[in-house]
Amino acid sequence: MRIGATLYFDYQASTPIDPRVLPVLAAQFADTFANPHSADHALGWKSQEGVEAAAAQVAQTIGADPDEIVFTSGATEANNLAILGLLPKAPKGRSRLLVGATEHKCVLAASAEATRRGFTVEHIRADAAGTVDLEDLTQRLADDVLLVSVMAVNNEVGTIQPLDEVVRLAGRVGARVHSDAAQALSARDIDMAATDVDFLSLSAHKIYGPKGIGALYVRRERRNELSPVIHGGGQQGGLRSGTVPTPLCAAFGAAATLMVEEAAAGERTRLTALRERLIAGLLELDPKNRLNGPVGVARHPGNVNICFVGQDSRDLLIRLQPRLSASTGSACTTGIPEPSHVLRAMGLSTDDAEASIRIGLGRFSDQEQVDEVINLFESVL
C-alpha cells in the first residue's frame, strides 16, 4: 500500500480500513446515531439492533455465540478486563498467574497490577523462535494457578503459539486460560467451539476495521467469574459499562466477516509467498542479517522481523523516511527507548535487539512493493 510517497509496511501495528468497511461505518454514523441503551424509543431500538448484529458477526468469526462477546475500546481494555476482572472473585488458594514472557506490553502491565493486588505473577519462558516453552509451563502449573495468559500470535515476530496445548496443560490443574488474539485472525482460524480458551481478546484495527473498538470473548460458563474494571451504568450485562458505539461495532463486525470469507485462505497463501520473497531479499543484502522468530507455517503470513547485525534500527528507519513505514518493534516508556522485551526474551543481545526491524505485510501489499522495500534497504545499508 502506498500513501503518497510512503510505502506502508507496518500492518502489525495497524491495518488500513478496508474500502468495503468504510460504507458500513459511514452509514451507521449517519443513520444509527441514537444511544443503543435508550430503551424507550424506536431509534434506540434500531441502534441496539446494530450492536447485536455486530456481536453476531464477531461471534460467528470465531465460532462463538453473540452473548459471549463483550465490546471494549480495543484489545488493551479486553486484556485488562480478562486479567484484572478475574482477580476479585478468585477462588481461595488460587493466587498465581502464569504469563508468557513475550506477551504484549498491556498484558505484562495488567499482570504487574495484579502483583500490587496481592497475586504472584510468573513469566513463562520462550525459545529462540518466540514459542512458549511448554516444559517450563508444565513445571510451573499447580493447583494454585488462577490464570494462564498466552497470546495466540505474537505481534513482533509473528510466532503462532501452540494454544491448544497450553489449554490442555492448564486444564489439568483447573486454571483459566486467556489469549490475546489481536493478531490472530489474519494468521489462523479460530474456533472457540473447538477449544477451551476461557477469554479471548480481539481488536478491530488489526483486521482492517476502525480504531477504538475491540472485544473480549467470555466463555458463557466463565461470565460470573469476571468483575468489571470500568464502572457505570452496567451495560453489557454489567461487565463493561459505557455507551456502546454502534457505528464502530458495526464496522468491526463487517471487518471480522471479511476475515473468514472464502478468499481468506487464499489471502494467507498470497501473503506467505510475499513474506518469503521479502525475507530472502533482505537476507541476501548482507550475510550477517538474520531472521528473528520462527520459519514457515509457524509464523504469521505477513510478519517479517530482521536483525540487521551491526546496524541501528532507528537510524535505518530515519534514513528511510518518508519512503517506508515500518517499526523497530521496541517499546517506548515515558519517552525512553528500550530494546524489545520480546526479542530479549528470545535470547537476543541488546545490540541485536536494537538492530532489528519489523516489516509487516497485509491485504494491500503486492510483489512490486516488496521488491521496492528490498531496494530501499539496499540503498541505505
Active site residues: 332
Grid cell in block for residue 210: 476502525
Among candidate residues 58, 102, 101, the one with its CA nearest the CA of residue 78: 58
Q: Do 260 and 58 touch, CB atoms closer than 8 A?
A: no
Identify whether the C-beta of residue 327 lies closer than 8 Å to the C-beta of residue 357.
yes
CA dist 244 and 241 (Å) reads 8
With a CB cutoff of 8 Å and minimum separation 6, the contacts of 82 are 149, 178, 199, 201, 216, 226
CA distance 161 to 338: 25
Residue whose entry in the numeric block shows the C-alpha cell 470500568: 230
280 CB-contact burial (10 Å; exposed 0-12 / middle 13-18 / buried 19+): exposed
